[in-house]
A and B are shown apart, each in its own frame.
Chain A
Amino acid sequence: MFDRDVVVVGGGPAGIAAATALSQRGFDVELVDQRAQLGGAIYRQPIAGARPVKQSRFAARRWQHLHAAIQHAAVTYRFSSVFVGVDGHGNTLIEDRNQGRLVSVRARAVVIAVGAVEKVIPRPGWDLPGVVTAGGLQVMMKETGTAPQGRVLLAGNGPLLIAVAAQMAALGNAPVAIIESGNPMAINGNGLGLLPHAELLADALGYLSGIVRHRISWRRGTELIALDRAGSQLAAELRHADGRRETLLIDQVALHDGIRSNNFGLPADQAGTTTMPFITRAGDCREALGAIASQLDGMRAAADVAAYLSRKPNDAAASLDGIARQRAAQAVLATMFAPIAGPPRLTALPDETIVCRCERRRLQDLKLLLGGTGALSGREIKHNGRFTMGACQGRFCADNSARIACELNPGSPLVASDLTGSRWPVRPLPISALLGDEPAHHDQSARDQ
């Protein structure tokens, strides 16, 4: 009654590692990715004719190994296809954009490896045209081999900003500046924690040397507090550590405040039954620890799935040790990059700041909603405030809305998934994709390789 042993969603490091390992163990694996080729966000490959962006030596080698391994495995691919969810009957639903229709696969197990989501803290004006995310910008550069044009500002928090700046510079348009709320260069010995993590350290030094070489202004301990229109440009208002204000005129700003795990609407991990598949999330979408950990967590997921399918003991222990090391490294980075003004307090933003861009809901709307009867559940905030109700289905506002709710009602902590719930479609689905005679059942349209 099953079409496949395993559907793996996502062709980044976690998905490739899981699909390869499961295929090597003899299971029938289908890998689904929304792009036309493997890579995910971290190893995004250039489109035809574009020149590849320079990567660190370690990253390039990791990709070569991953890619070579899956080439030797008998994995079936379904590209240009988006995971829609697992329905109440246990069907794994995939929107196949090549065919323009919904495909329903009965799989015994599903590995969801859709990667991290970028954190972006709301700021006044963050909904203006010309505001993008740094992670999005980076993926675009990897795909096209060109840097964005004009005066570009990078702002927020975390090591990704330096990497993007170095890559932009290498492609010929260095950013105007990097606005960084932390101060990772402060001499307090924090960075020494990276010494045992040679690959991360080498990556960091590589990007830092790029910044120095191109004389990019890295303004540490500085915050971007507001954006406004200024003719055809944007005015970015900065606040330095000493309280001094400064305004920069720019064409584009790329925001980034770190990455986080992704469970927006995705089905929860579950043990399989006779009708429902075994489901596990893997990689950055489970816990955002970066590419090395993701690959290891893909192995871990493969071990869990194999143990379930073959009813044999689990052999994920080695992967778990490696993941723990990456967790420690990420903790060092988080300490190094901790904002010097302390963790951002979203309730201190101006009341008219947009929190939910799709539905144009403001901070004051959320304060008003939560000021009345006290603590509300995530579902009530969603329904009565329309936060996370829009077309992005919470990707840009669920985490921020939950954090604001926590600041207002510390006694009733909420997380993003309390607002988004778990449901399908996890992304808006063209109705036309459902209009065949019946949801297309598993077919031979996926490419066996």
Chain B
Amino acid sequence: MVSTSSLSVIIIGCGIVGASTAYFLARAGVQVEILDAIEPAAQATGSADGAVSVASKRPGPVMNAALAGIALYRELAVQGLFEGAFKSRSTFVLASSPVEREVLEAHAAVLRSVGVRVEMLTSTDLRARFAPLSDAVIMGLEVFDEGHAIGYQIVHRLLSAAPVNVRRNCRVESFLRDGNGRVTGVVTNHGPMLADAVVVASGNGSADLLGIPDVLIARKGQLLVTERAPALNAAMPGAIMSGRYLISKGMQAGTALASDRGYGTVVDPLATGQFLIGGTREDSGEKATNDAEAVAEVLRRAVEMVPGLAGVRLLRAFAGIRTAVIDSKPLIGRVPDADNVYVATGFEGDGICLGPVTGKAISQLVLDRSVDLDLAPFSPARFAQLGVAA
């Protein structure tokens, strides 16, 4: 085991992954500095839907990681770190058409097969449990033991709980290397900075540093927040997700229903009495802007499932740019051509769920300890061009 007291680590990116990594490293006694081109939670983490969920996932390594991610949220909530910042609730996936019902039934079986607690609800069951739902909903799937966390709140908790220095407006331009090519730190717009190890967790900003512009995809999402509507909020026992959402994620091969804006409806009753409503999954649109066409479509779909939302006011619209990987799996692990550089990015829409568990895994890698999570499927080595020598 490495002596941690003298170890210094630079983390590039102060989103949820960088902040989680910093938290676990700092708790182990490592000197940690986070460099962010803007400020904490300024990009995808600050504009995420906050789902801590497996409801829309297929079995596989991402599902396994997400289950571990949910378990870690629960653990950290009990320990106090995330107390009050993690809302435990079910997710209800809803079908409004025979096609969606088919997808839903198949999906329920799949979730059950990997041990996720689910229950199919007929429209009568739904009416009893979930009064605000529209009659158009013909079937529901309750996925238990899920939750919601607001990304920027989690980052704030992590940074407040550990001795971590955050440098804002600090943009990393390249790696600093010695005569043997070994990475000794980074070059920033404020000059060179030395460290024993470097963790790259800068989302779409990771592409240039690691030479993988063709591996990462910027995928925009638009989200909405309403004013407080306490009665309607209290009548919703959990978040809802349209069966169409599964389709927009390509769950049913060959379907033509997914639009190019990638609409997938999610309505999450927040702890404040407000609602979070999503969203889009857009390959075009590098800019984090909202447009009336998409916002109106998102709201129309939400009102189709929860008619009472028509009587509520929209308070905020925002957009974020997710970082996706071309093979739909995140990049987590050591960079192949450097023994002291690590990467953790490409979580697409799962960053809030996977951030803490990934941060813990990276900290274990850096400290040369056994890693809780199976990182093999996420190995950066699967992309030959990825490296610090770019």
Binding site for B on A (CB under 8 A): 87-89, 91, 93, 102, 104, 372-373, 377, 379-380, 383-384, 391, 393, 423-425, 428-432, 434-436, 438-439
B196 at the binding interface (Cβ < 8 Å): no
A384-B153, A435-B300 are known contacts. Are A87 and B316 too (CB-CB below 8 A)? no
B121 at the binding interface (Cβ < 8 Å): no
Given the complex, which residues of A lie within 8 Å of B67, measured CB to CB? none
Chain A: minimal CB distance from B42 (Å): 7
In the complex, the answer to whether B303 meets A435 with C-beta atoms within 8 Å is: yes
Chain A: minimal CB distance from B5 (Å): 23
* Complex CA distance for A359 and B318, rounded to whole angstroms: 20
* Complex CA distance for A128 and B39, rounded to whole angstroms: 37
A424-B290, A428-B227 are known contacts. Are A383 and B166 too (CB-CB below 8 A)? no
In the complex, the answer to whether B317 meets A432 with C-beta atoms within 8 Å is: no
Chain B: minimal CB distance from A418 (Å): 11
9 pairs of residues in contact across A and B, judged by CB atoms under 8 Å: A373-B159, A383-B41, A383-B156, A425-B316, A428-B314, A430-B313, A435-B299, A436-B296, A439-B296
Additional A-B contact list (15), CB under 8 Å, known A89-B291, A425-B316:
A87-B290, A87-B291, A88-B287, A91-B292, A373-B159, A373-B160, A380-B40, A380-B152, A423-B316, A423-B318, A424-B317, A430-B313, A431-B313, A436-B296, A439-B296
In the complex, the answer to whether B227 meets A89 with C-beta atoms within 8 Å is: no
From B168, B314, B318, A429 is in contact (CB under 8 Å) with: B314
Which B134-159 residues have a C-beta within 8 angstroms of A? Answer: 152-153, 156, 159
B226 at the binding interface (Cβ < 8 Å): yes
Query: Interface digits, B310-327 against A, CB 8 Å rule (1 contact, 0 not)?
Result: 111111111100000000
B295 at the binding interface (Cβ < 8 Å): yes
Chain A: minimal CB distance from B256 (Å): 21
Residue of A nearest to B313 (CB): A428
B214 at the binding interface (Cβ < 8 Å): no
B309 at the binding interface (Cβ < 8 Å): yes
Chain A: minimal CB distance from B288 (Å): 9
Chain B: minimal CB distance from A161 (Å): 33
* Complex CA distance for A93 and B314, rounded to whole angstroms: 14
Which B168-188 residues have a C-beta within 8 angstroms of A? Answer: 168
Residue of B nearest to A84 (CB): B292
A88-B290, A89-B291 are known contacts. Are A431 and B303 too (CB-CB below 8 A)? yes
From B168, B226, B293, A431 is in contact (CB under 8 Å) with: B226
A431-B226, A431-B303 are known contacts. Are A102 and B292 too (CB-CB below 8 A)? yes
Chain A: minimal CB distance from B320 (Å): 13
Q: How many A-B residue pairs have CB under 8 A?
A: 95
| Interface residues contributed by chain B, number (CB under 8 Å) | 38
* Complex CA distance for A87 and B290, rounded to whole angstroms: 6
B46 at the binding interface (Cβ < 8 Å): yes
Chain A: minimal CB distance from B236 (Å): 16
* Complex CA distance for A177 and B299, rounded to whole angstroms: 50
From A91, A431, A436, B309 is in contact (CB under 8 Å) with: A431
* Complex CA distance for A183 and B107, rounded to whole angstroms: 74
Given the complex, which residues of B lie within 8 Å of A431, measured CB to CB? 226, 299, 303, 309-314
Chain A: minimal CB distance from B160 (Å): 6
Binding site for A on B (CB under 8 A): 39-42, 46, 152-153, 156, 159-160, 166, 168, 226-228, 285, 287, 289-293, 295-296, 299-300, 303, 309-319
Given the complex, which residues of A lie within 8 Å of B319, measured CB to CB? 88
Given the complex, which residues of A lie within 8 Å of B156, measured CB to CB? 380, 383-384
* Complex CA distance for A196 and B340, rounded to whole angstroms: 72
A88-B289, A91-B291, A431-B314 are known contacts. Are A383 and B300 too (CB-CB below 8 A)? no
Given the complex, which residues of B lie within 8 Å of A436, measured CB to CB? 296
In the complex, the answer to whether B296 meets A102 with C-beta atoms within 8 Å is: yes
A384-B153, A384-B156 are known contacts. Are A89 and B293 too (CB-CB below 8 A)? yes
Given the complex, which residues of A lie within 8 Å of B310, measured CB to CB? 431-432, 435
In the complex, the answer to whether B293 meets A439 with C-beta atoms within 8 Å is: yes
Residue of A nearest to B310 (CB): A432
* Complex CA distance for A393 and B225, rounded to whole angstroms: 12
* Complex CA distance for A428 and B224, rounded to whole angstroms: 12
Residue of A nearest to B314 (CB): A429
Of the listed residues B287, B295, B299, the one surrounded by the most CB atoms of chain A closer than 10 A to its CB is: B295
* Complex CA distance for A424 and B295, rounded to whole angstroms: 11
Chain A: minimal CB distance from B91 (Å): 22
A88-B291, A384-B153 are known contacts. Are A434 and B300 too (CB-CB below 8 A)? yes
Given the complex, which residues of B lie within 8 Å of A384, measured CB to CB? 152-153, 156
Residue of A nearest to B168 (CB): A377
Of the listed residues B292, B300, B312, the one surrounded by the most CB atoms of chain A closer than 10 A to its CB is: B292
From A93, A383, A438, B46 is in contact (CB under 8 Å) with: A383
Chain A: minimal CB distance from B134 (Å): 13
In the complex, the answer to whether A89 meets B292 with C-beta atoms within 8 Å is: yes
* Complex CA distance for A434 and B289, rounded to whole angstroms: 18
Residue of A nearest to B39 (CB): A377
In the complex, the answer to whether B299 meets A383 with C-beta atoms within 8 Å is: no
- 5 A-B pairs with least C-beta separation: A88-B289, A428-B313, A434-B296, A89-B291, A383-B152
Chain B: minimal CB distance from A20 (Å): 29
* Complex CA distance for A383 and B155, rounded to whole angstroms: 11
* Complex CA distance for A429 and B290, rounded to whole angstroms: 14
* Complex CA distance for A432 and B159, rounded to whole angstroms: 40
A93-B292, A383-B152, A431-B299 are known contacts. Are A423 and B317 too (CB-CB below 8 A)? yes
In the complex, the answer to whether A383 meets B153 with C-beta atoms within 8 Å is: yes
Chain B: minimal CB distance from A91 (Å): 6
Given the complex, which residues of A lie within 8 Å of B296, measured CB to CB? 102, 434-436, 438-439
From A87, A373, A379, A429, B313 is in contact (CB under 8 Å) with: A429
* Complex CA distance for A311 and B277, rounded to whole angstroms: 43
Given the complex, which residues of B lie within 8 Å of A88, measured CB to CB? 285, 287, 289-291, 319
Chain A: minimal CB distance from B310 (Å): 5
A373-B166, A431-B303 are known contacts. Are A380 and B291 too (CB-CB below 8 A)? no
Given the complex, which residues of A lie within 8 Å of B295, measured CB to CB? 87, 434
Chain A: minimal CB distance from B347 (Å): 20
* Complex CA distance for A91 and B299, rounded to whole angstroms: 18
Given the complex, which residues of A lie within 8 Å of B293, measured CB to CB? 89, 438-439
* Complex CA distance for A380 and B14, rounded to whole angstroms: 13
In the complex, the answer to whether B226 meets A380 with C-beta atoms within 8 Å is: no
Residue of B nearest to A104 (CB): B292
Chain B: minimal CB distance from A427 (Å): 9
Residue of A nearest to B296 (CB): A434
Chain A: minimal CB distance from B165 (Å): 9
Given the complex, which residues of B lie within 8 Å of A372, measured CB to CB? 160
* Complex CA distance for A434 and B311, rounded to whole angstroms: 11
Chain A: minimal CB distance from B315 (Å): 5
Given the complex, which residues of B lie within 8 Å of A377, measured CB to CB? 39, 168
Chain B: minimal CB distance from A404 (Å): 19
In the complex, the answer to whether B299 meets A434 with C-beta atoms within 8 Å is: yes
